[in-house]
Amino acid sequence: MDSLLPALIAALLAGAADRPAWLAAILGDRFGGRASVLLGVAGAQAAIMAIAAVGALAVRDVMTPNAKALFFGVALIFAGAGALMPPRPPRDRLEGWRIGPLPTAALGSFILAFGERVQFVGFGAAAWSASPVLAASGAALGAMTGGVIAATLGEREWRRLPLRIIGGAGGTLLLASGIVMGLGGLRLI
């Protein structure tokens, strides 16, 4: 639980008003039957976090505990700074994709989320945590939650949410957490 919950909360805050969630809302509207979109978004986020976990497992043994805390702190700071920026819709609404709802949601979400701040947070959490698999699972659940909510609401309702306030609050919490974590990693607090 000590690994799962911080990663879940950090990923949820980092991705709450992000473009992958917005794409899920767009696809939820387009395909009406949202179960396939939900499965596609969930599968894409699971794959993204599996890649993050593998990467974290590859580097964590060569890092000191302080370096792990500093790295996670930096990931939280960058995610918080990104979350403070005004939310932007995805540039490509995938309107030309004719492969069906499940593959469109899975591939579109994977492509859009690959290398985004939520994956970086998942990587940092898995590298820092005593249980990297639980941390990556928590980050995947946090990322999935935002996408599932967005796909269920649809774009019209998604855009009615106070995305700037959600992003601002989440970004502020991530920045504060990252600063504390980073200062702890540097042994300044």
| pLDDT tens readout for residues 113-172 | 887 888 999 999 999 988 888 998 999 999 889 888 888 888 889 889 898 898 899 999
Distance CA 56, CA 37 (A): 28
Question: Residue 88: is its pLDDT beyond 90?
Answer: no
Confidence of residue 97 (pLDDT cuts 50, 70, 90): confident
Q: What's phi and psi for 60, nearest 5 deg? A: -65, -30
Q: Report the distance separating Cα 12 and Cα 119, nearest Å.
A: 11
The whole-angstrom separation of Cα 62 and Cα 59 is 6
Mean pLDDT of the chain, nearest integer = 88
Predicted local distance difference test score (pLDDT) of residue 30: 86
pLDDT, one tens digit per residue, over 48-73 is: 999 999 999 999 999 999 999 999 99
Per-residue pLDDT at 1:
57
Q: Is the pLDDT of residue 42 over 80?
A: yes
**Predicted pLDDT at 67:** 94
Would you state the pLDDT for residue 77? Answer: 96
Least confident piece of the model among 33-37, 42-46, 160-164: 33-37
* Residue 19 burial (C-beta neighbours within 10 Å; 0-12, 13-18, 19+): middle
- What residues contact residue 126 under an 8 Å CB cut-off, 6+ apart? 7, 52, 53, 55, 56, 57, 60, 132, 133, 135, 136, 139
CA distances from 86 to 12, 34, 80, 164 (A): 17, 27, 12, 6
Residue 39 confidence (pLDDT): 92
pLDDT at site 57: 92
Spatial neighbors of 122 by CB under 8 A, at least 6 apart, are: 7, 11, 48, 49, 52, 53, 135, 136, 139, 140, 143
State the pLDDT confidence band at 23, using cuts at 50, 70 and 90.
confident
